Amino acid sequence: MDIFLQFDLPSILLGSLAALACGLLGNFLVLRKQALMGDAISHVVLPGIVIGFLFTHETSSWAMMLGAGGAAIFAVLLIELIRRIGNVDPGAAMGVVFTTMFAAGVVILEQTGTAGVHLDVEHALYGNLESAIWLDAYSLSDLWNWQVLMTMPESIKQLFVVNMLVIMFIVLFFKELKISSFDPLLSASLGFSPKWLGLSLIVMVAIAAVAAFTAVGSILVIAMFICPAATARMLTDNLKVQLFISGIASLSAGLFGYLLAAFGPGLLGYEFSVSAAGMIAVVAGLQQVLAMLFAPQYGVVMRRRRQRAHASV
């Protein structure tokens, strides 16, 4: 039991909470047809993260979060600027900005000697879920012991706070996010500025991306933003229900992804385990495929069946 509590549980929590924060916000990115914005943001925050790290020399610090938020706002403004001045379409502007900023992040990471000490390129890209350990836990009762709980890894506590923030953001601004995603013009005319709502969504996305960064890295994070939301969209036509389902999909991707990575190869008789972050993304992708195939209304199978029934009539 203590092995599970000390090694597996922290990783599961880290993976699930990272997936949850991104998965919930992903709903609005997908609805706004900005799914790739999640990708872009997860890349542009890298220089912010590295600079934040240089200030404090701590991973999963709030300075990193601040740096990332700043980098995201900077990127959004830069994309807008390039779009206006260069007269290019938003996709192209986004491409220019996010690759450049990501590259800058990698260069700073390599050049400052930060790499290899606490924050190395590989972990920045693919995450380091397995590094989360909770050595103070010995029995299940520790889960109710506040003092022991507080000895959880910093990154988990941070993700917990970030999830609270994300949920608060969505509950407070649900109506505003909904209307500005569906009909920006009406939203603007009723006094709910789609620009400001869009920007605050991006900042939240940046915060979630950074919090998830230690868990799943900056590349796989895009799967967390898109898959749970897209899965949930296949299963319902109600936005509130969609948010709820995407939350469940995120948490379960985190849980089963880790379990599969840690124990899957063992079950097949192999001695190693595979990357948990990678497996979480795979599970998230599988959920999406299953939903696409078997969703009651929009699934391929049911649609075929309906068509056939229609044809035979």
Partner 1 sequence: MHDRSSSGLHLLHDTNTSKAVSSQDLPFTVQGMTVAYHHKPVLWGVSYSAPKGCLTAIIGPNGAGKSTFLKAALGLIPKLSGDTKVFGAPIEKSLKRIAYVPQRSAVDWDFPATAIDVVLMGLYGQIGWFRWPSRKHRQKAMDCLKSVGMQDFANRQIGQLSGGQQQRVFLARALAQNSEVYLMDEPFAGVDAATEKAIVAVLRQLVADGKTVLVVHHDLETVRDYYSHILLLNGQHVADGPVETTFTAENLQKAYGGRLASTQLDGLSEASNA
Q: What are phi and psi of 132, to 5 degrees?
A: -75, 120
Residue 172: CB minimum distance to partner 1, A: 5
Residue 85: CB minimum distance to partner 1, A: 15
Residue 175 binds to partner 1 (criterion: CB under 8 A): yes
Report the residue from 242, 250, 275, 288 that binds partner 1 according to the rule CB under 8 A: 242
Residues 211 and 203: beta-carbon distance below 8 Å: no
Residue 240: CB minimum distance to partner 1, A: 9
| Segment near partner 1 (CB under 8 A); pick from 12-20, 138-146, 184-192, 283-291 | 184-192
Gap between the Cα atoms of 62 and 52, Å rounded: 8
DSSP string, 102-163: HHHHHHHHHHTS-TTTT--HHHHHH--GGG---TT--SGGGGG-HHHHTTS-HHHHHHHHHH
Report the residue from 188, 199, 248, 286 that binds partner 1 according to the rule CB under 8 A: 188
Residue 148 binds to partner 1 (criterion: CB under 8 A): no
Gap between the Cα atoms of 284 and 291, Å rounded: 11
Report the residue from 16, 181, 231, 246 that binds partner 1 according to the rule CB under 8 A: 181
Nearer to partner 1, 43 or 233 (CB): 233
| Segment near partner 1 (CB under 8 A); pick from 14-22, 95-103, 176-184, 299-307 | 176-184
What sign results for the dihedral spanned by CA atoms 27, 48, 254, 5?
Answer: negative
Residue 224: CB minimum distance to partner 1, A: 20
| Closest C-alpha to 13, from 155, 169, 222, 186 | 155
Gap between the Cα atoms of 227 and 298, Å rounded: 16
Residue 232: CB minimum distance to partner 1, A: 9
Residue 191 binds to partner 1 (criterion: CB under 8 A): yes
Residue 294 binds to partner 1 (criterion: CB under 8 A): no
- Number of shown-chain residues binding partner 1 (CB under 8 A): 25
Gap between the Cα atoms of 27 and 135, Å rounded: 35
Residues 20 and 254: beta-carbon distance below 8 Å: yes
Residues 276 and 219: beta-carbon distance below 8 Å: no
Nearer to partner 1, 246 or 287 (CB): 246
Report the residue from 34, 59, 155, 236 that binds partner 1 according to the rule CB under 8 A: 236
Query: Position 308: which residue type?
Result: R
Report the residue from 73, 96, 161, 178 that binds partner 1 according to the rule CB under 8 A: 178
Please report, for the chain, how many H helices and E strands are present, in that order.
14, 0
Report the residue from 135, 140, 186, 290 that binds partner 1 according to the rule CB under 8 A: 186
Residue 310 binds to partner 1 (criterion: CB under 8 A): no
Residue 290: CB minimum distance to partner 1, A: 19
Residue 190 binds to partner 1 (criterion: CB under 8 A): yes
What sign results for the dihedral spanned by CA atoms 251, 169, 51, 88?
Answer: positive
Dihedral over alpha carbons 198, 202, 204, 206 (to 10 degrees):
180
Residues 206-235 that bind partner 1 (CB under 8 A): 233
Report the residue from 22, 64, 239, 260 that binds partner 1 according to the rule CB under 8 A: 239
Residues 213 and 124: beta-carbon distance below 8 Å: yes
Residue 298: CB minimum distance to partner 1, A: 10
Residues 197 and 180: beta-carbon distance below 8 Å: yes
Q: Residues in the site for partner 1, rule: CB under 8 A?
A: 31, 33, 172-176, 178-179, 181-183, 185-186, 188-192, 233, 236-239, 242
